[in-house]
Amino acid sequence: MSISEKAQKNHEELWPGYQSKAAQTDPELIEVFDNFAFCEVIDHDNMDAKTRVIMILASTIGSQALTEFKMMANAALNIGITPVEVKEIVYQAVPYVGVAKVIDFLYSVNEIFTERGIKLPLEGQSSTTMETRFEKGLAKQKEIFGDMIDQLYQNSPKDLLHIQHYLTANCFGDYVTRNGLNVRTREMATLSFLIALGGTESQMKGHIRGNANVGNNRQTLINLMTQLLPYVGYPRVLNAIACLNEVLPK
């Protein structure tokens, strides 16, 4: 196989000494993929390895790609991403992907932690209580999305107002307020979930704006979409780029 030296080096950084079974059974595919994903795409920008792996890890949950998730979870730990950070990505996925789709990933990451001697449960990262989750969730929503949150409440039909309350108290109050990941990383991870899920253009546009509001500019999001491309495919990335160009035109 003719895999470039740079691709081999980048692959080895994530999985030291790993022997790929696919490289033995499907060498042509691995040659094409590794040269693209681990050389050409990585060379596109200066996204650091930890951020790149966290975002790919998030996308694997959105894609329901359990085998690749296990690979990336191990890669994350191999390059110094903490167990808390890995687990927070899994928790963060619940309100966006749904627990029915996330539970297998939770069990898998716990198995990986156990195999590595990482004691469970990890230290708690919740920053709210039942009494404070709505207030703190609302503050976090406004930090990310600004005054449009007030408009959503004002414009909501009365029979759907409970969904706005759930978004504030549950999605943001229970999850996004957690410690372990900063808000910029959480917003990028959320966008990664949405890109991988597909059919989420409305939510992608909102979270592209949210990313910009917390400091993830157009170029940062182009880099994110580029790094996800080998893992989620062209259609989903092109749809995300269309949303980006609408919300944050060049």
Does a structural domain hold residue 39?
Answer: no
Residues 166 and 49 in one domain: no
CATH number, domain at 68? 1.20.1290.10
Residues 146 and 95 in one domain: no
Residues 190 and 83 in one domain: yes
The answer, yes or no, to whether residue 218 has pLDDT greater than 70, is yes
Residues 157 and 203 in one domain: no
Does a structural domain hold residue 155?
Answer: yes
Query: What is the tens place of the pLDDT at every residue in 23-62?
Result: 999 999 999 999 999 999 999 999 999 999 999 999 999 9
Does a structural domain hold residue 90?
Answer: yes
Does a structural domain hold residue 7?
Answer: no
Cα dihedral angle (70, 71, 77, 82), rounded to 10 degrees? -50
Does a structural domain hold residue 8?
Answer: no
Indicate the number of domains in the chain. Answer: 2
Query: What is the tens place of the pLDDT at every residue in 132-178?
Result: 999 999 999 999 999 999 999 999 999 999 999 999 999 999 999 99
Does a structural domain hold residue 27?
Answer: no
Using DSSP, state whether 233 is helix, strand or coil.
coil
Work out the pLDDT band at 6, boundaries 50, 70, 90. Answer: very high
Name the residue type at position 61. Answer: I
Residues 81 and 166 in one domain: no
Using DSSP, state whether 24 is helix, strand or coil.
helix
End of a domain among 171, 201, 227? 171
Residues 111 and 186 in one domain: yes
Residues 208 and 108 in one domain: yes
- Whole-model pTM? 0.97
Residue 89: CB partners within 8 Å, gap ≥ 6?
Answer: 54, 57, 58, 61, 181, 189
Residues 165 and 195 in one domain: no
In this prediction, residue 22 carries a pLDDT of: 94
Residues 113 and 228 in one domain: yes
Residues 237 and 143 in one domain: no
Tell me the residue range of the domain where 188 lies. Answer: 45-125+178-247
Residues 194 and 114 in one domain: yes
Residue 176's CB is within 10 A of a number of other CB atoms, namely: 21
Q: Work out the average pLDDT over 87-103.
A: 98
Does a structural domain hold residue 111?
Answer: yes
DSSP designation for 124: P
Residues 163 and 190 in one domain: no
d(CA 50, CA 39): 16
In this prediction, residue 1 carries a pLDDT of: 66
Half-sphere exposure of 120 (CA within 13 A, CB side): 11
* Whether 122 contacts 83, CB under 8 Å: yes
In this prediction, residue 30 carries a pLDDT of: 97
Does a structural domain hold residue 23?
Answer: no
